[in-house]
Amino acid sequence: MVLPEGHPLVAGTASASPLLRALRGDRPERTPVWFMRQAGRSLPEYREARKGTTMLEACLDPALVAEITAQPVRRHGVDAGILFSDIVVPLFLAGVDVTIKPGVGPVFAAPVRTPSDVAALPALGAAGDGGGFDRSLDVVRQAVSASLGLLGETPLIGFAGAPFTLAAYMVDGGPSRDHLEARRLMIADPQTWQGLMDWAADAAGLFLRAQVLAGASAVQLFDSWVGSLPRDRYVAHCAPASARAFSHVSDLDVPRIHFGTHTGHLLEDMNAAGATAMGIDVTVPLDEAARRLPGVPLQGNIDPAILGAPWEAIEAHVRDVARRGMAAPAHVVNLGHGVPPDADPEVLTRIVELVHGL
């Protein structure tokens, strides 16, 4: 499918940006940088904007989403905005009873653990079919459009939670340290597990597609918890669902980033699931990742823990990350995970300035 007329990649406002060039493997003159969780609690302007709203309310207010998405671009001068949202937003819009409790995370009214639980999940339909889920995604499309209005020529990244991470929350009923219930279901009842993964893959994929068709110039699939799996189980029980999620945007000419934490043992398999660029966490040096993923643009992998160190240590670490990133065809500097809530915004701004000056 051809991207809609007026899309930033069609109009040319984003295609020449350092971010898009790097994600396509064309090393730009200036190394691009953005930060996962760059829009959030580390910014005082975010805390001010969020006063009086719950997380889900904020994610479903297009004007507020646009403002929060643009805040780190204004403050830090990063090379991309990433849509302010949450991985459970598509589940909520589909009709799943989920809330986001402050200090806890997503909490589901009823865990999904049986064949009947999976069968009772809301119907999703197909992109553009005008069904209930498709109509509910209009608020996401509006948020993307409003964000583009504030970002100007800075490209917007869309994102979704990967099927395993979504399913892990749904099976456990909320956050878990070991995802034991999800891993147990995967082994004890693989047919039910596959049904849940297929549903989560379609929810994530349709969420990504809505963002792209509304104007996002790249997408990232986050698999926060999949590093808890051994490789054979990932390949057998999770990779096909991630590929299914990516398939919803595979006909659209946008870069697809795949990222997970503690996934050094899964890099090749995650890349094969449909990514065109790979996000690398803190456990794998970028030059090693480049050796294992020849020809693949890389993103990462500043250690978030370094952000509280003296500037001399931060600078040395950032320079080392950038040096190792030269082994890849192109490199987008990012953290190896998200910005901690207590990070000093001034430090992030200095890192952007340092990377742009290298």
Q: Return the active site residues.
A: 37, 41, 50, 86, 169
Q: Is the separation of the CB atoms in 302 and 318 below 8 Å?
A: yes
- Comparing CA positions, the residue from 295, 297, 306, 308 lying closest to residue 333 is 297
Cα(37)–Cα(333) distance, integer angstroms: 14
DSSP state of 121: S
3-state secondary structure of 112: coil
Cα(184)–Cα(60) distance, integer angstroms: 34
Give the length of the chain: 358
Q: Is the separation of the CB atoms in 258 and 241 below 8 Å?
A: no
- Residue 345 in tokens: 């915004």
Query: Other CB atoms closer than 10 Å to residue 95's CB: what's the count?
Result: 14
Q: Is the separation of the CB atoms in 120 and 229 below 8 Å?
A: no
- Residue 295 in tokens: 């020809």
Q: Is the separation of the CB atoms in 197 and 163 below 8 Å?
A: yes
3-state secondary structure of 43: coil
What's the one-letter identity of residue 255? P
Torsion of CA 141, 146, 152, 153, to 10 degrees: -10
Q: Is the separation of the CB atoms in 217 and 254 below 8 Å?
A: yes
Give the CB-side neighbour count of residue 181, counting CA atoms within 13 A.
Answer: 16
